[in-house]
Amino acid sequence: MAVLNNKKSKVSDKVPSSSMADIAFLLLIFFLVTTTFPKDKGLAIVLPEQAEEVQVSQKNIIHIIIQANGIVDLKRGESPQVQQVRPNDIEGIWRQEVAENDNLIAAVKTHPDAPYKFMLDVLDALHIAGAERISLQVLEG
């Protein structure tokens, strides 16, 4: 009887601490796995090499002119006709035009005082449309 009592009290008198490390490591590994460092993201472009001047025939160029107030004008090749578009429409126009002409180049001309975001809206639309050949210029005059 006395022995039995003794054993019982020995079992219950300390908190089990052997699994604490396991619990801690489980939490540690969980957070290690679920943590993601924010990766840099954006719209990638390739700048031209220095002194690389390529003459392109006007019929292969589609001019996209961004005014200082965000109005986007579209001008095809040598035709003087100017069409006002929304940045969202550029995707469809590009797909349509590139189907007719594989060598098409998008020349994005932005007014020097235009906020950067208007240029990015157009660049975004071109990226969505899968355009590869994009020329970024500043609007002269």
Partner 1 sequence: MAIKGGLTRKNKASSDVPDSSMADIAFLLLIFFMVTTVFQRDRDRPIVWPVAEATEKIDEKLKNILNIWVERDGSLFINDRPYEMADIAGTIGPLYAASDRALVISIRGDREVTYNTIDQLQKQLVAAGVVRVVFATALEQRMTRERR
Residues that bind partner 1 (CB under 8 A): 2, 6, 17-18, 20-21, 24-25, 28, 37, 39-50, 66, 88, 110-121, 123-124, 127-128, 136-138
Structure tokens at 141: 């005059």
Minimum distance, C-beta of residue 34 to partner 1, in the bound complex (Å): 17
User: Toward partner 1, which CB reaches closer, 100 or 116?
Assistant: 116
The angle at the Cα of 128, spanning 56 to 119, to the nearest 5 degrees, equals: 65
Smallest distance from the beta carbon of 82 to partner 1, in angstroms?
A: 20
Long-range contacts of residues 88-97, Cβ cutoff 8 Å, at least 24 apart: 88/125, 90/64, 90/122, 90/125, 90/126, 90/129, 91/125, 91/126, 91/128, 91/129, 92/129, 93/62, 94/62, 94/125, 94/126, 94/129, 94/131, 95/129, 95/130, 97/62
Cβ nearer to partner 1, comparing 46 with 99: 46
- Complex with partner 1: residue 50 or 81, whichever CB lies closer: 50
Q: How far is the CB of 96 from partner 1 (least distance, A)?
A: 18
Q: Is 60 or 67 the residue whose CB approaches partner 1 more closely?
A: 67
CB of 41 to partner 1, least distance (A): 5
